[in-house]
Amino acid sequence: MSFSLCRYALPWSLVASLAAIALLSSPTSAQQSSPAHMRASVNAQATPITPRRGHTLAGASQGNVIQVALRQSQHDTAPVAPLRQPTLGAQLHSEIAFVQDLSSAAVLYDQNSDQARPIASISKLMMALVVAESGLPMDEMLSISDEDVDRMRHSRSRLAVGTKLSRASMLHLSLMSSENRAAHALGRHYPGGMPAFVRAMNDKARALGMRRTRFVEPTGLSEQNVSTPRDLVKLLRATTNEPLIQRYSTDESHEITVGKGRSLKYNNTNRLVRNSQWDIQLSKTGFINEAGHSLVMVARIGGRDLAIVLLNAAGSYSRIGDAVRLRKFVETETNLAML
């Protein structure tokens, strides 16, 4: 009898031992018996969310202007390839470059946009705006006098002293070919003369909110005519509402008749207006040594009217090349943002 009980007692003891070992080795028991293990488990569940990525539509060196959020799952821990960073800034030959959508006011490219610089003949856009809003008769004949001759920089002109043209033709040549004598004559024939005209230019700048802009004469030959790209966008916005300024500034060429029936043909200083791939709504170029080569325009790109400002380029061809590069950049980055 005792032998029989002993024979059965051994297996039950073995079973009890195995059960105890299994209980001690279970995850629940391990976590309850070890506070360190419990803390590790809690921390593992609190994985931080990876910050969302943004694709820059402005030059990498200029900071983010527009971002398109690409959301990433909290549980997505796979490595993410970095987005391509634009390097357009290194490709531009203009010191200052700025692109803004006139409808949405979104800034698409920004390089040194807060700097006030001499703007040269871009000043003629404000001159044209004052003339267009003055209500003066556009068919009135004006004359070129000795006062209109540039003795500061000795810039050339094909309009001899004594030449008579209509106010419309003077404005046309000023905008399309940057004719300095014509621009000066327009200011001189303003009611109150040149002082009143320059005052009207500055008053209009203040009315448009161009707080860092100043004019001392209408041609842009003075380096004291200064503005910023953001101010110039406000001027571009205002001048696009004037059909006469739009047409005159974007005409490819214009022919006038001067003394003794002699004809003079003028061409636009912005050769992009002759390029069928561009839809330019308004344009103006400028150059003096202090300002470098400059170009401002409103171009329709991808169905949007974009204001483009380029200041202090290394040469007249450089500003054209920069405009082409900016257009490609905006088109490419906008397409990427829509993906």
Which residue out of 124, 204, 234, 284 is catalytically annotated?
A: 124
Q: Taking Cα atoms as reference points, which of 248, 301, 294, 335 lies closest to residue 97?
A: 294
Element (H, E) at 82: none
What is the C-alpha separation between 336 and 290, in angstroms, rounded? 38
Largest CA distance in the chain: 149
Which residue out of 113, 121, 249, 294 is catalytically annotated?
A: 121
234 is catalytic: no
Which residue out of 174, 177, 178, 283 is catalytically annotated?
A: 178
Query: What is the Cα 13 distance to its own chain's centre?
Result: 85
Token pair of 35 as six digits:
């506070």
What is the C-alpha separation between 47 and 253, in angstroms, rounded? 66
41 is catalytic: no
| 183 exposure class (CB count in 10 Å sphere: 0-12, 13-18, 19+) | buried
178 is catalytic: yes
What is the C-alpha separation between 293 and 60, in angstroms, rounded? 24
- Residues that are catalytic: 121, 124, 178
